Amino acid sequence: MLVTGASGMLGAATATRLVADGWCVRTLQRRPSGVEGAQDERSSVTDERAVARAVAGADAVLHLAAKVDIVGPEAEYRAVNVGGTRTVLDAARGAGVRRVVVVSSPSVAHTGGSLVGAGAGRAEPSRARGPYARTKAAAELLALDADQPGFRVVAIRPHVVWGPGDTQLVGRIVDRARSGRLPVLGTGAPLIDTTYVDNAVDALVAALDAPDASYGQAYVVTNGEPRPVLELVAAICRASGVPVPSRRVPAALARFAGASLDAAWARLPLPGEPPLTRFVAEQLSTAHWFDQRRTREALGWAPRVTIDDGLARLAEHAALTGAGVDG
């Protein structure tokens, strides 16, 4: 079994689970995975020779490696997200791999408006918001086009994955709340759905065992517990021991500011990431939750960790690690 991108939270958790389940696991990523019992191949998915070495002898591939930064040149996203996916698919096919699970994102079909009880929808590279979403959309289409008898490919779109140690959603919320830079955009009332990391891992593992009829398609994975965005953000803040945001910014103003900051970071050599992007402003001010019936039937999967249980685990982790206000 090859797992790419195992230095990220979801990739590491997935590789760890597969090792525990008795799989012989090889990982491929640029940094050490830290997954005990797995064999690390440290390289990029854009390196054809490294990918070929890593996939040799594998009978299945879980492809999670991606460029996920908020900002950056679109060519870099394309090289990793599209080019890397093509390299993994070509190497897997050449090595006789029979199943490939590609981790995609619901953002590939999000064009800026609300998604209310939506299905997976077709990836839209020309309409997706931002370089990450556009290149992930192109990569998903590339992957699903490769599906054929004897070489089955499925795309799983975990939605807003979080959990203890998360540096994406939780890490950004905590850092900005601690410094007073986390406003409420609009009313804070739109419903959003998220995925606790253990549930996302379960879904990816379930996809490996799904019937062939479930392959060649994309599935959104969530907890199936949509909550108002402010309620969820406040709960993460409380669990992490940081102040709950109270300052409000009109949603339209936030989107305009995000678009302006996108343009500034694209034109100028500014350090770090912008305090807001148009994509983030849209995500925090519009509803996005998904009908999970098709996913659960196709994968034979259901979430086992509720949002409230996940928040309790997050609070326990924060207490043990000293994260939060005093972290």
Residues classed as catalytic: 132
| Cα distance between residue 160 and residue 149, in whole Å | 32
Tell me the sheet residues that pair with 162.
196
Residue 182 φ then ψ, to 5°: -125, 85
Measured in residues, the chain has a length of 327
- Spatial CB neighbours of 80, under 8 Å, sequence gap ≥ 6: 44, 45, 46, 65, 66, 67, 135
Q: Long-range contacts made by residues 317-320, C-beta under 8 angstroms, separation at least 24? A: 317/164, 317/165, 318/164, 318/239, 318/240, 318/241, 319/241
Return the sign of the alpha-carbon dihedral for residues 59, 12, 145, 224: positive
| Cα distance between residue 96 and residue 155, in whole Å | 19
The string over 169-184, giving b where at least 16 C-beta atoms fall within 10 Å of a residue's C-beta and e elsewhere, is bbebbbebbbeeebbb
| Cα distance between residue 143 and residue 139, in whole Å | 6
| Cα distance between residue 165 and residue 176, in whole Å | 16
- Spatial CB neighbours of 96, under 8 Å, sequence gap ≥ 6: 59
| Cα distance between residue 71 and residue 92, in whole Å | 30
